[in-house]
A and B are shown apart, each in its own frame.
Chain A
């Protein structure tokens, strides 16, 4: 076998390995006592940043949804996950969704619905724990989608300032 020339010749102590091995062992020993990075997930959770795109939710203002059922979100949704059915109401906004469903198995968390919404009525939340045991459970109706505006303050703030709507 041809002897290859190294870029830098090792000196004696490097070549007998022992010194280098002890150095390596001391390094790992140092790590043995260092604080750990692991997050104990189900007990400890990360507080997500406002830019985090969790599951989309409907903003609830004074006990009612802001949504006017224009259907833009449903139109823009690339995964065809949103279904809206509009109806009339006595309120100022005149229209409201009778039915608003997001199929969470189809949703790809792109945030287009939030971007397109003229009323800031649908935003992405910080909720990422979505587990279903049946297909039916994965279709979220208004009961699961409506979230009080107080809980979505920082996301709404983020949408206004960072996304320059």
Chain B
């Protein structure tokens, strides 16, 4: 039983992740189409719902091309790093309060780590290696530029991201994600208490996930495909999967750190029956995450890409001071109001 429950959790978490990623791609295409007054995929299956499985199948059957000048081992290693990192970050994200199954208390999290936030930040940093190594190993100038850009971008934005998170940690007094969520009951959402930190974190999350206003590592018009120019078949699929998995993780993180996790101001745990509460909590959490995912896609099809110097200016001259300002604001709040 001790082994079975974590294994079951891992299986459920990974299958849910893969399922959401598959349909996230579908909805990305649908929403982009709707925003551009088009209809979007609607040929494979009813409403095009089988489009993503068809795409995956197609990628399975594609030839796996490795450029002859590439560093073969690293070239194969890079997508694995990207995907492994993206998936293992999932382990420390809780998606509901404790529940009881067959008299056993089960936490809706794969690994309840004391240093949850640190774990996520550390793994997000490892994720850069996937992109940078793929850019370098492909032995292609466009890939290399994409990889270099991704590392520069990650370094610049991880800083402001980390400092924004410190604000949250001061208020929660713990690195454990459960404690952070429970410190945001009622109206005490961090998004309301520290709006500047919220904005800097969201912007940094966009940069970390390489989503559109900051998708310089792949910047199709300039760099062909960026770091994954020389990838095909399942290796490309792994990068693709990692990108969307990162998006889900970023949404989960924003929800847990700033939007109160599964807490909603109007829903009080006292008024609801005990059995129903976990279900509603999970639904609230999922709804918030889904909204954020929609927001990610929505932003992608609304805002043009930053230029490289603008990106660096924004990262170092705007985001960093702003996140420091937020840190001071939170420190003052704690000092004077003892929240």
Taking a contact as CB atoms under 8 Å apart, the answer to whether A28 and B38 are in contact is no
Asked whether any CB of chain A lies closer than 8 Å to the CB of B316, the reply is no
> Which A4-50 residues have C-beta < 8 A from chain B?
18, 21, 24-25, 27-29, 31-38, 40
Taking a contact as CB atoms under 8 Å apart, the answer to whether B38 and A21 are in contact is no
Taking a contact as CB atoms under 8 Å apart, the answer to whether B35 and A28 are in contact is yes
Asked whether any CB of chain A lies closer than 8 Å to the CB of B301, the reply is yes
Nearest-neighbor residue (CB-CB) of B299 within chain A: A25
Asked whether any CB of chain A lies closer than 8 Å to the CB of B272, the reply is no
Taking a contact as CB atoms under 8 Å apart, the answer to whether A40 and B35 are in contact is no
Looking at chain A's contact residues, the main secondary structure is helix
Number of A-B contacts (CB under 8 A): 37
Checking A18, A24, A36, A40 against B302 with a beta-carbon cut-off of 8 angstroms, the contacting residue is A24
Taking a contact as CB atoms under 8 Å apart, the answer to whether A36 and B34 are in contact is yes
Which residues does chain A contribute within 8 Å of B271, judged by CB atoms?
none
> Could you tell me how many residues of chain B have their Cβ less than 8 Å away from some Cβ of chain A?
15
Q: A18-B199, A25-B298 are in contact. Are A31 and B36 (CB under 8 A)?
A: yes
Taking a contact as CB atoms under 8 Å apart, the answer to whether A36 and B39 are in contact is yes
Give the contact-size bracket for chain A: 10 to 19
Which residues does chain A contribute within 8 Å of B270, judged by CB atoms?
none
Checking B31, B38, B301 against A37 with a beta-carbon cut-off of 8 angstroms, the contacting residue is B38
Checking B37, B199, B299 against A31 with a beta-carbon cut-off of 8 angstroms, the contacting residue is B37
* CA–CA, A140 and B303, complex, Å: 52
Taking a contact as CB atoms under 8 Å apart, the answer to whether A36 and B199 are in contact is no
Taking a contact as CB atoms under 8 Å apart, the answer to whether B35 and A38 are in contact is no
What are 14 residue pairs bridging A and B, where the CB atoms are less than 8 Å apart in the complex? A18-B199, A21-B303, A24-B303, A25-B298, A25-B299, A25-B302, A27-B302, A28-B301, A31-B36, A31-B37, A33-B34, A37-B38, A38-B37, A40-B42
